[in-house]
Structure 1
Amino acid sequence: MFDLRFFEIYRNADFLWRLAEGAYLSITLSVAAALVGLLAASLLAVSRYAQIPVLKHVAAAYVEVIRNTPLIVQLFFVAFGLPLLLGYQWPFWAHAALGLTLNFSAYFAEILRSGLVAIPKGQIEAATALGLKPHLRFIKVIFPQVFANVYPSLTSQFIFLFLTTGVISEIGVEDLTHAGVFIDSRTFRSFEVFITLTVAYVLIAMFFKGCMLVIDRHYFAWKAR
């Protein structure tokens, strides 16, 4: 009969500490990449929506390249390719942050662009009639509605992308998955280790979902349900 030995994990303070540090790093990198990626995604979406010459083609090409290549390939390129091309060297976690930001921004950009396209033309015409300048139209009229409309999609996409961040362990980042692999290599209790990782990722994803729900109710309460 198969003997479960979870105690080999939770009785070892070093293993628990590694899991806690790995979870903290995974959460921190994901949130930072999402925030910076959302800002970059806004610029990409506006460039395509506003049909800005040259920029719209650059933005479209960027989004297509990122969305049609695996995250692990992007991470290896950022961690090992760019340093050779540009002659710099960052810590592995910084490479992971950059790679995740690039990845997040492309997916968020398409969601935001779909939200921009869905805004009724009458809203833009009304803002123009009020004498608002183009940048104020985006800030005060268009983007609040866009974010309210696409917020559920952004939330789902963020959680999905967070769950794929385990691959950053492949470039040496000591995230949650890396901690699990380390423990497995010491205990040889693969089933128990990866069940623990599964529970940890589920709990973190549920935590993110709860935070997103609070934000939705606080900032988008004005939106008709």
Structure 2
Amino acid sequence: MNLDFSQIVPYIPFMLEGIWATLEFVIVSILIGLVLGTLLALCKITKAPLLKGLADVYTSIFRGTPLILQLMIIYFAVPQLTGYDIPAFLSAILAFGLNSAAYVSEIIRAGIMAVDKGQTEAAEALGVPYRPMMFNIILPQAIKNILPALMNEFITLTKESAIVSTIGYLDLMRRAQIVGADIYRNFEPLLVAGAIYWIMIFVLTKVGQAVERRMRQSD
């Protein structure tokens, strides 16, 4: 096997910088996905047909098309229509945030529907307004039930973040490609990048499990 990791040693700091570059837009995307996904979930369970229909159409579009296509449309096609270039970082958080919101909305909707209807009926009987009831009673219980699914979505988002290298964003994958092109060897930098991704996912998984245990103990 023709392997020589010594050549990529000088590039290790450059590749490690890609960890923060990756996590930076992934964290922002997750926050967008959570906020927008929660709003979409509430729209899906509302009695207003228009809001429910719009939320269902949104989810259908973003779940029914590839994430890389959405990224390409935002980065390449939208500037063609508007005449303004969208930076790679902004394109990444928009594509990933909007895409994640579609999946998160379904997860949260399922969690809300799983909460005992007696909770809602009791709150209504006590005269609790809809908004406080939803945010103070229903959603906290739903989050406990759907936390594993949410963590799985965030882990998937972190793994899929590698596709932003296609628009030139200097994430971990893109930096591995640059190193490979510079030293004319691709296996070593890609293997190192794979190991770093695995470590990030491993840490995220452990954090998720710790949070889940903590929430169960608080019941």
Instruction: Bin the TM-score by the shorter chain.
Output: over 0.9
Give me the whole-angstrom Cα distance separating, in 2, the residues matched to 1:83 and 1:54: 30
Q: 2:22 aligned with 1:4, yes or no?
A: no
How many corresponding residue pairs?
Answer: 219
Deviations 1:64-103 (A, max 9, x none): 1111111110000111122222333232111111111111
Correspondence for 2:98:
102
Structure 1: gaps of 5 or more residues: none
Give me the whole-angstrom Cα distance separating, in 1, the residues matched to 2:105 and 2:6: 45
The code of the aligned residue for 1:159 comes to I
What's the % identity of the aligned pairs?
Answer: 31
SS for the counterpart of 2:217 is coil
Give me the whole-angstrom Cα distance separating, in 1, the residues matched to 2:115 and 2:84: 43
Give me the whole-angstrom Cα distance separating, in 2, the residues matched to 1:155 and 1:24: 19
Q: 2:109 aligned with 1:116, yes or no?
A: no
Correspondence for 1:38:
34
Correspondence for 1:170:
166
The code of the aligned residue for 2:34 comes to L
SS for the counterpart of 2:49 is coil
SS for the counterpart of 1:89 is coil
SS for the counterpart of 2:69 is helix
Correspondence for 1:62:
58
**Counterpart contact for 2:75–2:87, Cα < 8 Å:** no
Q: 2:204 aligned with 1:208, yes or no?
A: yes
Q: 2:184 aligned with 1:188, yes or no?
A: yes
Correspondence for 2:144:
148
Correspondence for 1:73:
69
Provide the aligned C-alpha RMSD in A: 1.4
Deviations 1:4-31 (A, max 9, x none): 2111112x1xx22321221111111111
Q: 2:146 aligned with 1:136, yes or no?
A: no
The code of the aligned residue for 1:91 comes to P
Q: 2:218 aligned with 1:222, yes or no?
A: yes
Give me the whole-angstrom Cα distance separating, in 2, the residues matched to 1:16 and 1:202: 16
Q: CA deviation at 1:172?
A: 1.3
Give me the whole-angstrom Cα distance separating, in 2, the residues matched to 1:130 and 1:18: 59
Correspondence for 1:161:
157
Q: CA deviation at 1:54?
A: 0.9
More helix, by proportion: 2
Q: CA deviation at 1:219?
A: 4.5
Give me the whole-angstrom Cα distance separating, in 1, the residues matched to 2:96 and 2:217: 30
